[in-house]
Structure 1
Amino acid sequence: MSIALFLLTFLFPPRVVMQPAALPSTVAQLSPRPVALLLPRPVALAHHTPRRLTSYRVTATVYSAKASQTDSEPFVTADNSRISRHHTSKRRWMALSRDMLKNWGGKFDFGDSVRVKGISPELDGVYVIHDTMNRRLHRTIDLLVGRHEKIYGKWDDVTIKKIEDTPPVLPEWQAS
């Protein structure tokens, strides 16, 4: 046995464990009392930059509610909203390619508001997603314009960004 172990055993002898005694009846009948709990104060967090919203580069086109440009029901969108027969480009609805919608693994959903930049001053702005496009198209948006408006074109390098602070728009539909 080493000297250090001998000294520790001599200075701190092993204790004999005894069975606890039963509590007196007066202690056993006490009810619990409220205890004040002191919580630490919240620490001021260091200033951090806000989270940047992701923007996407897409190709933009325009379409009208015609059977030749849509499906057999041109006035009903993919989220079951009904397009007015007197629709104009001021109404700001859009269709999004399927690869960008949540149903097919994307980040956008029907009813989301999206800021569009890079087309023209008349067509740039905030649009609501109500429709989807053919599955062969990728990273493409289609802006809904009125049938009587003479707006045509295809624009590359258009930027879209989801607007996070607005609640999603519910589908607008009418009973027929």
Structure 2
Amino acid sequence: MGTTSENSIAKSRNIAGTYRKAICIAITICIFYSNVWAQSFTKEVKMIQEKCKSLITKCKCEISKFSGDRNIYLKQIRGDYRTTKSAADMRCFSLDLWVYGKKLSLDSIYYANIENDDLLYIGDFFEGSYTLSGDQIQLKLTFINSALNTSAPSDHTFLIDFDRSKKKFIQTKLKFADE
């Protein structure tokens, strides 16, 4: 049998060995998860529809939340359809994308990229994808303009890059089907 001091030294070595093993395991787990978190992934956008209230009583409001990330959603306001912008209450026609509390007016981008000044925009979501790589989010959202006075082609895609850490839109592009 060892002396008390030998037993203390042995216990200290066992404790030190246990701590070393725990630290090695913790480092291994951190390396594994940092590699997993650094990987990017892409998935198809699926929407969950909800009704909302518009400040303008005659307008209809709908929110479409992304099923994969509730911090991303579309808010669309619609009113009674008219064949021209001048005949429509434009306060009732908007399509906004909200990403982590930041708003992007998709209808304004659409209007800025067309030549027909009287075209009314009613963007109906068709399909999309969501890519997350670190803090970078890339959205590819395809819509169809279902307004009656639209000219062909009506389908168009917004390509949107967003930085979650800076909470800002980095880049936004609009592509029409014939481009």
Structure 1 or 2: larger helix share?
2
TM-score normalised by structure 1 residue count: 0.24
With CA pairs under 8 Å and 6+ residues apart, which has the higher RCO, 1 or 2? 1
Larger Rg computed on CA atoms: 1
Relative to the length of structure 2, the TM-score reads: 0.24
